[in-house]
Amino acid sequence: MKDAVAKKFKRENGLDYKASQITVGTGGKQVLYNAFMATLNPGDEVIIPAPYWVSYPDMVMLAGGEPVELVCRMEDGFKLKPEALEKAITPKTKWLLLNSPSNPTGAAYTRAELKALTDVLVKHPHVHVMTDECMNTWSTTTSCSPRRRRSSRRFIRARSPSTAARRPIA
């Protein structure tokens, strides 16, 4: 199954992963929660652009972390701006959690918008990126995965099994 997931990433996203780099859970929620439980220490901060999918802050708090909510304005298409990201990063920041396409706003980051965000992130290598792309195949907007920017930092991409059911992964 992990080989099939790796093939899917290659075929649909142009990304190279080995089966050993892939984990499979019972849903996006479980995978994200497991990742927080495995990585967050008390006081670690997780930047969450708002509006966000309802469960994110609670998952962070259950794992002992502190959610840092960054309100994204309607005028900006409910997308995180690089300047806001730069200002929010502290020595305690562990993760930036990106959800694109977004539930609830539908906002989907373009390659250029993600490049602007990763230009900030390359200056802060202690910040890892968790991307929730559960809604990717349901979107009619052209979106892009932040993982396309090569880096040694930790990336976690969540995909929902319901998405997989709609579109076979192998």
Terminus-to-terminus CA distance in the chain, angstroms? 9
Q: How far is the CB of 108 from ligand PLP (least distance, A)?
A: 12
Q: How far is the CB of 28 from ligand PLP (least distance, A)?
A: 3
Residue whose CB is less far from ligand PLP, 124 or 169 = 169
Residue whose CB is less far from ligand PLP, 41 or 162 = 162
Give CA–CA dist 128/97, Å, rounded.
9
Q: Which residues bind ligand PLP (CB under 6 A)?
A: 27-29, 53, 99, 103, 132, 134-135, 160-162
Residue whose CB is less far from ligand PLP, 31 or 85 = 31
Give CA–CA dist 16/34, Å, rounded.
23
Q: How far is the CB of 4 from ligand PLP (least distance, A)?
A: 18
Helix (H, G, I), strand (E, B) or coil at 78: coil
Residue whose CB is less far from ligand PLP, 113 or 132 = 132
Q: How far is the CB of 123 from ligand PLP (least distance, A)?
A: 27
116-136 core/surface letters (b: 16 or more CB in 10 A; e: else): bbbebbeeeeebbbbbbbbbb
Residue nearest to ligand PLP (CB): 27
Residue whose CB is less far from ligand PLP, 13 or 86 = 13
Q: How far is the CB of 104 from ligand PLP (least distance, A)?
A: 8
Residues 6+ apart with CB under 8 A from 41: 64, 65, 94
Which tokens sit at 86? 């730069």
Which tokens sit at 45? 């901060």
